[in-house]
Structure 1
């Protein structure tokens, strides 16, 4: 007996993960960093994070319902929660509440919904919001309250990257500048001034490992970024040790860990292929250190990721696998 074979549209094989489960998996991975932030910066860190999450969800719901005029489902799928958390993690704990709300509006309204919503945005929404706030309110965005514990002697509320750049601009010897800064162990656990969620490399690494095990992200992009920064910094250190610090300093300070693990691995605004992700990571690592070394601003991770976000369509075009078959030309 002949049987008809019905071929349905792709995908033909579906995974068990949904958008909601993936998004809430990322939220779970951010809990260690949030815990460390509350431990070092107090309840102000938790308050700003909750405000950023609530306002991000509200603005996404509002835009979907009244501007796009569709069912506001994505406001509750976890993606707005991630945007809010990452945005809060990229600001100091002393930031005024109203600025946090405006930043959430820009992140959701401009960085995400203006492109059509989840899955269509070109740039990472949280970084769009952060850069907007940094340009609009540079004083508030670079005022760093001391954490709750005593740090190395002579250390102020400035970030390690800011202290380094200021010291070198004042022609202080590298050894003298580094003596004022916390130890590598302080950097690793988070005992330093900085943005709410960027200070603890350990907490972010735990979250990153969790996401890799859950297969929420690939390891290629963050590892490539770390390797690029380490190699570039090692070369500069070898050229002039009196001007450039150890590679581990650049790895453990600033927003490198949160940027490499959480922003650069955004499924929507990062390359699709492994080769493309490696190219993407190398670009982020190089641009980050170029800005740190020779830019006016001591940190460059956010700008590096946004710049490389813009190159993703080109990277995907030249790294996507070739199609099966052969093109036949007429004549």
Structure 2
């Protein structure tokens, strides 16, 4: 009887029907509610910014793969599409089109393909593109449109400071939370999205709905988003309890800025986050701590983008320390 050859292949050895393409498009579906809110609030400029980011990311992905890498193009996997959407979500509506295109080139060309493409990039591509634009064009990147007072959303947008910007500037110039309160949007406005900020900072409710969808679909686990937000709430809560006149309450920090967007949609990137649950918790705590430190003591009013990129750099070390248990490593033979 002829013996069958034993085929030894590289891991992983456990397979499922959940492809990377399916996971990517689940993320796209989860982002639809927040996108619709941003278009409702900002109108055509939000649509132009998002379309430009998506089309340019797809175009650069195609050109780099076809003419530089000389490999089969993989536009259908959804990764470049998500990069474009998330990049747009980190930009103010009405940002000049050529700046959006420049950010897309950096996100796809430098942050993704200079490392070898999907699965090899160290840093979240959309955040790299956003930080590049923020450092290169700080004035344009901090001109936040908002709905004109008294006329409702989607009409006659005017420039205004974000909630975190109001806090940062006011507290630095000696104001207190009591005097700043009339200028800070209500919790309901921040929850629904009628404030100033980037496209992805509009509606905490829409972002949470999409995050719930991702959790239900098991695209992400709860460890990173919950621990990031819990760490932020704990730290800001301590400062607020000690001095409520000079520190905002935790709810403001969680509902304003990019906290929810970053925690659910960018920190959970499968490529740039740890692979073990313990590693995810350490990673998330680092993001939460750094975000609060930058918000309270740094020059920028927002810090989650920088926090995620910094912790992305630590992921190889985190994965090295928190290794998955080897199959059968704790099985001991019992002699009877």
TM-score normalised by L of structure 2: 0.92
Instruction: Say whether the 8 Å CA contact 1:57–1:76 is kept in structure 2.
Output: no
- Pairing of 1:160-171 with structure 2 (within 5 A): 160-171=163-174
Q: Secondary structure at the match of 1:30?
A: helix
Tell me the CA shift for residue 16 of structure 1. 1.0
Could you tell me which runs of 5 or more consecutive residues in structure 2 were left unpaired when the two chains were aligned.
153-157, 331-336
Alignment of 1:283-294 (within 5 A): 283-294=286-297
**C-alpha distance 12-205 of structure 1, shift in aligned 2 (>3 A):** same
- C-alpha deviation, 1:291, in angstroms: 0.4
Paired residues of 1:151 and 1:182 also in contact (CA < 8 A): no
> Quick check: 2:228–2:284 contact (8 Å CA) kept in 1?
yes
Q: 2:122 maps to which residue?
A: 122
Q: Is the CA contact (8 Å cut-off) linking 1:149 and 1:191 kept in structure 2?
A: no
Change (3 A) 1:237 1:193: same
How far is the alpha carbon of 1:230 from its aligned partner? 0.4
| Structure 1 residue 2, shift from structure 2 partner | 8.6
Match of residue 250 from structure 1: 253
Please give the alpha-carbon distance, in whole angstroms, between the structure 1 residues aligned to 2:247 and 2:281. 25
The SS at the match of 2:244 is coil
2:264 to 261, 264, 270: 261
Distance 2:151 2:181 in 1: 13
Q: Distance in 2 between matches of 1:150 and 1:123?
A: 42
Q: Deviations over 1:68-111 (max 9, x none)?
A: 111112x2210000000000000000200010001000000011
Matches within 5 A, 1:149-188: 150=150, 157-188=160-191
Count of aligned positions: 323
Encode CA deviations 1:298-324: one digit per residue, 9 max, x unaligned. 000000000000000111111113434
Q: What CA distance in whole angstroms lies between the structure 2 residues aligned with 1:194 and 1:180?
A: 15
**Aligned counterpart, 1:22:** 23
Structure 1 counterpart SS, 2:199: coil
Superposed CA RMSD in Å reads 1.9
Q: 1:13 deviation in Å?
A: 3.5
Aligned to 2:98: 98
Aligned to 2:214: 211
Which runs of no fewer than 5 residues in structure 1 stay unpaired? 327-331
Contact 2:273 2:315 in 1 (8 A): yes
Distance 2:235 2:47 in 1: 36
Query: Greater CA deviation, 266-275 or 197-206?
Result: 197-206
**TM-score (normalizing by structure 1):** 0.93
Cα 1:307–1:260, aligned 2, differ >3 Å: closer, same or farther?
same
Q: Superposition pairs for residues 242-321 of structure 1, below 5 Å?
A: 242-321=245-324
